[in-house]
Copies of this chain bind each other. A is one copy, B any other.
Amino acid sequence: MIIVMKPHAPEDAVQRVTKAVESKGLETHLSRGKEVTIIGVVGDKNRLCNDNILLLPFVDKLVPITESYKLVNKKFHPEPTTVTVGNHIIGPNTLTVMAGPCAVETREQLFIIARNVKAAGAQILRGGAYKPRTSPYSFQGLEEEGLRYMQEAGREFGLNTICEVISQEAINAAVKYVDMIQIGARNMQNFQLLREAGKSGLPVLLKRGIAATIDEWLNAAEYIISEGNPNVVLCERGIRTYETATRNTLDLSAVPVIRSKTHLPIIVDPSHATGVYSYVPPLAKAAVACGADGLMIEVHNDPEHALSDGPQSLTFDRFDRLMEDLNPYIQLSERTL
């Protein structure tokens, strides 16, 4: 960290700051310019307890030099991570497609969808059993029963499975039935849940919070990995902006930014980002073109009667066509399904 003093800060103000820093067991390094004195701080910034130094007289600003996340940081782990989910490997050589309904509604519905997404080329079946809903009066999911259907559908059609968890209880159930758990956007800073996901042993898909900076997102991943679970995949799913033509604003720039900051894989969810099925195919192609490691796509046998998120779900026909159209883009990115 660098501490920048205000112009013409007196000598005793500078000394007070260096003493405050050194009293925490850190070293300082002074640089006196004509007008401005700068104090470099060497050592573990966490000892400084945040930004209190700002309160000392004549301190102008603090400039962080190192990121607060370590385990997810590309600087200390330059090679891209691969994450194994059941019999599938997510990473730089594959293009992972997670497809399925927003919510598991019935065993029959899930089976017909699973058969179709498998035939089209998806490797992982998605389906929500615990639904975080804005209104307490909306459908909240089949819970453990839904997880059991996920496991049965996965086995029947040779698909790996992923399901969102929203509580310790849901994690306890999920480890019995599915191959990967998902932390949704609303829980990205539910630090308790992140720690529990870290302890679960299952690979974790971590969605970006609806107003999370990339830094906060990577710190959330750090929570999971710091519990000893290195199998984290990030998922960009749109951020909240003033624009209302789409449900959220898909931030595809996040793909190259994430690539430059971390070794973790990143996939993109154009269904939740846009909320409109007809925008999903062009943005799915764009995601592959800019280097994403995979896609999460909502597919439903009967979107008109889906219990949630019908308008953004692809029918089987549309999903089949998308998977065909994606093929040359996947080849251009030197990946295989």
Contact = CB atoms under 8 A, between A and B. Distances in A.
A136 to B, nearest CB: 5
Contacts of A254: 243, 245
A87 interface: no
Contacts of A286: 252, 286-287, 289-290
Interface in A39-69: 40, 42, 46, 49-56, 60, 63, 65, 68-69
Given A136-B223, A136-B226, A307-B49, A256 B279 contact: yes
A253 B244 CA distance: 11
A249 B253 contact: yes
Contacts of A69: 135
Contact of A192 (B27, B167, B240): B167
Interface residues of A, number: 104
B257 A309 contact: no
Interface stretch (A108-116, A117-125, A206-214): A206-214
Main secondary structure on A side of the interface with B = mixed
Given A4-B65, A167-B192, A305 B33 contact: no
A139 B252 CA distance: 32
A310 B190 contact: no
Contact of A329 (B38, B255, B289): B289
A303 B266 CA distance: 30
Given A49-B306, A241-B241, 5 more contacts: A55-B311, A68-B134, A136-B195, A215-B245, A245-B257
24 contacts: A2-B4, A33-B42, A34-B42, A46-B138, A49-B306, A49-B307, A50-B308, A50-B310, A51-B310, A51-B311, A63-B63, A133-B191, A166-B190, A167-B192, A186-B190, A210-B211, A211-B242, A241-B249, A242-B242, A246-B257, A253-B279, A253-B283, A286-B289, A289-B329
